[in-house]
Structure 1
């Protein structure tokens, strides 16, 4: 038995087939680093706009109002008289203030486009239930458990 070394046939364009995956990997790394850079910039802008009275949510889900800012820390009031000091980087997002001009005042009538200011009382007839002490008692509507012969 005799073994012969036969060279493999080239598929042609071997340089491009090796270069294409490398280009895709470099493109993905560039795109991901660009996305992370935008997120870091957005976080830096959020931290830069912190002022006393701003309502924020931390990355751990703590909601509070900024009482004081320092170089590295933010003091949040999370409840009446309860102050917590967190790192500025822990501030996830700022909650926008509700605009009182958008909502009608309590004494004003609502416009046609808005919901009615007060719900009208609707008379709902009871569903055949018996009244006991002014309360409606529903009769149970259970399927029969057995049949009588």
Structure 2
């Protein structure tokens, strides 16, 4: 009996099928790093543009007005006379100030000389059945202390 070694049939694109997932992974990593680089650059531009009088929000959520900018720190006034120092990297974003042109004046009702209030219009409301959960109870309901058998 003679055994003959015959090559097995291949699927045709062996090299490309192994290379395609690798190319996709490298592309995703490049895209994510590019996005992070843009965010870091935007943050650096924001910090570089800080000047006294600018209103900012820190990454921890503190809102304040820039009083002084040093090489490493920013001094914020978070309340009248309350100054706090933050690291420049802690500045999250700058709050744009409204100018007089952008400020929208509310219409004034001439008859009563007060600000006119437009009625609220409900859109896409859902009817919810009244359950009585909003009623005030005289006593708090406590769980039973014993069970009757």
Q: Does TM, normalized by the shorter one, top 0.5? A: yes
Specify the alignment match of 1:76 in structure 2: 76
Specify the alignment match of 1:34 in structure 2: 34
Q: CA deviation at 1:6?
A: 8.8
Q: Contact conserved, 2:107 with 2:115, CA < 8 A, in 1?
A: no
Structure 2 residue 115 is matched with structure 1 residue 118: yes
Q: CA deviation at 1:118?
A: 1.3
Residues 18 and 104 (structure 1 numbering): CA distance in 2 closer, same or farther, change over 3 Å?
closer
Specify the alignment match of 1:11 in structure 2: 11
Specify the alignment match of 1:47 in structure 2: 47
Specify the alignment match of 1:59 in structure 2: 59
Specify the alignment match of 2:93 in structure 1: 93
Instruction: Output the aligned Cα RMSD.
Output: 2.6
Residues 10 and 56 (structure 1 numbering): CA distance in 2 closer, same or farther, change over 3 Å?
same
Give the secondary structure class of the aligned counterpart of 1:50. coil
Relative to the length of structure 2, the TM-score reads 0.65
Distance, in Å, in 2 between the alignment partners of 1:37 and 1:103 is: 35
Distance, in Å, in 2 between the alignment partners of 1:80 and 1:6 is: 88
Structure 2 residue 21 is matched with structure 1 residue 21: yes
Aligned residues: 110
- Unpaired stretches in structure 2, ≥5 consecutive residues: 118-131, 133-149
Q: CA deviation at 1:14?
A: 0.3
Q: CA deviation at 1:75?
A: 0.3
- Unpaired stretches in structure 1, ≥5 consecutive residues: 121-141, 143-149
Distance, in Å, in 2 between the alignment partners of 1:8 and 1:87 is: 66
Distance, in Å, in 2 between the alignment partners of 1:119 and 1:110 is: 6
